[in-house]
């Protein structure tokens, strides 16, 4: 994190990870999106947790100084437990970094 603290509620860092696998649009039709040749698809063993960890690993040092880790997803892999704690543990973040799950179609906007 920068030496100057971010204003309350500001996003200090973010990352994106796209699955490596692609599916040609000819396999399922263009679905009304002309010009789109392919789309990324997750492997059978990839879910919101594995994609979140893959995205955050390059930022692990920066995230370690953050106040919180927010995991926003519309497709949580578990219905009976949260996923943010799993991402927190995988990144080996200090206990001072809070972890919270935001689930729903507008979870990203809530974050």
3-state secondary structure string across 72-91: EECCCCCCCCCCHHHHHHHC
- pLDDT tens-digit readout, 46-85: 888 999 999 999 888 888 788 888 888 888 888 888 899 9
Domain spans of the chain?
Answer: 46-110
DSSP secondary structure, 29-47, as one string: --TT-TT--EEEE--TT--
Report pLDDT for 85. 94
Mean pLDDT lowest among 5-14, 66-75, 85-94: 5-14
């Amino acid at each position: 994190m920068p030496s100057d603290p971010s204003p309350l509620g500001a996003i200090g860092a973010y990352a994106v990870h796209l699955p490596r696998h692609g599916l040609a649009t000819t396999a399922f039709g263009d679905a009304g999106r002309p010009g789109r040749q392919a789309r990324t698809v997750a492997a059978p063993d990839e879910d919101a947790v594995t994609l979140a960890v893959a995205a955050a690993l390059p930022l692990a040092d920066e995230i370690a100084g953050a106040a919180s880790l927010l995991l926003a997803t519309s497709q949580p892999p578990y219905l009976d437990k949260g996923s943010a704690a799993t991402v927190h543990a995988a990144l080996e973040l200090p206990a001072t970094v809070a972890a919270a799950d935001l689930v729903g179609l507008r979870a990203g906007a809530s974050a």
